[in-house]
């Protein structure tokens, strides 16, 4: 396991620290831990690309670490009433639908090789920005993230969710086409 994957694991390990700090109402240290976790996201990708160390494990762990961090962040900020419940529902629903879709694709025997889309990258950026703005606001005693940022986050979350659903449908269609072709070959050989 290379440095990039270790950085990703570090990001996952920082999540309980971050959640604990927020639970004990320590927004200053929580901001630092969140920023460190976000920095490991940038650093692990840069390191892997620079040294040609992209791996299957990294392709699995990196988005998982992002989801764990952002899910915990949105839930905690909602509990603290820093962000409204509806935006957390939008973010978590998209991720749940995509996880179920991935599971469905695996259940039918297809393989999934999702590629990050531009909208997906922008979504991660605006979600991280929303969390940072919420954390900084919470630190300064302002308990609301601005409505335009929330709507921007919701819009990109929905757009990227739709893009990933379209990608998933392509994987399903490719699996069905391959299965049909295989069954035609078996009939022909008999």
What pLDDT, on a 0 to 100 scale, did the predictor assign at position 63?
A: 83
Tokens read off for 136? 């900084």
In angstroms, the CA 46 to CA 160 distance is 22
Q: Which residues, in sequence order, are CB contacts of 15 under 8 Å at separation 6+?
A: 37, 68, 69, 72
Render pLDDT for 1-57 as a digit per residue (tens, 0 to 9). Answer: 688 788 889 999 999 999 999 999 999 999 999 999 999 988 887 777 777 777 777
Q: Give the mean pLDDT of 157-167.
A: 91
Tokens read off for 109? 């025997």
In angstroms, the CA 14 to CA 7 distance is 10
Domains identified in the chain and CATH numbers: 3-189 (1.20.120)
Nearest C-alpha neighbor of 161 from the set 122, 108, 113, 105: 122
To the nearest 5 percent, what fractions of the chain are helix, strand and coil? 85, 0, 15
What pLDDT, on a 0 to 100 scale, did the predictor assign at position 95?
A: 92
Whole-angstrom CA distances from 150 to 55, 84, 158 are 34, 9, 12
Quote the pTM value: 0.85
CA gyration radius, the chain = 19
């Amino acid at each position: 396991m290379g440095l990039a994957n270790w950085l990703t694991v570090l990001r996952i390990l920082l999540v309980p620290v971050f959640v604990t700090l927020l639970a004990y109402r320590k927004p200053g240290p929580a901001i630092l831990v969140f920023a460190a976790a976000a920095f490991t996201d940038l650093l692990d990708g840069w390191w892997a690309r620079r040294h040609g160390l992209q791996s299957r494990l990294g392709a699995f762990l990196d988005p998982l670490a992002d989801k764990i961090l952002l899910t915990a962040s949105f839930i905690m900020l909602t509990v603290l009433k820093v962000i409204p419940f509806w935006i957390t529902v939008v973010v978590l629903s998209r991720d749940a639908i995509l996880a179920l879709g991935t599971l469905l694709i695996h259940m039918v025997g297809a393989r999934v090789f999702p590629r990050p889309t531009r909208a997906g990258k922008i979504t991660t950026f605006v979600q991280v920005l929303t969390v940072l703005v919420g954390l900084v606001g919470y630190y300064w005693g302002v308990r609301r993230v601005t409505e335009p940022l929330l709507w921007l986050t919701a819009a990109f979350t929905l757009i990227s969710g739709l893009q990933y659903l379209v990608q998933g449908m392509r994987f399903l269609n490719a699996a069905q086409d391959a299965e049909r072709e295989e069954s035609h070959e078996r009939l022909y050989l008999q």
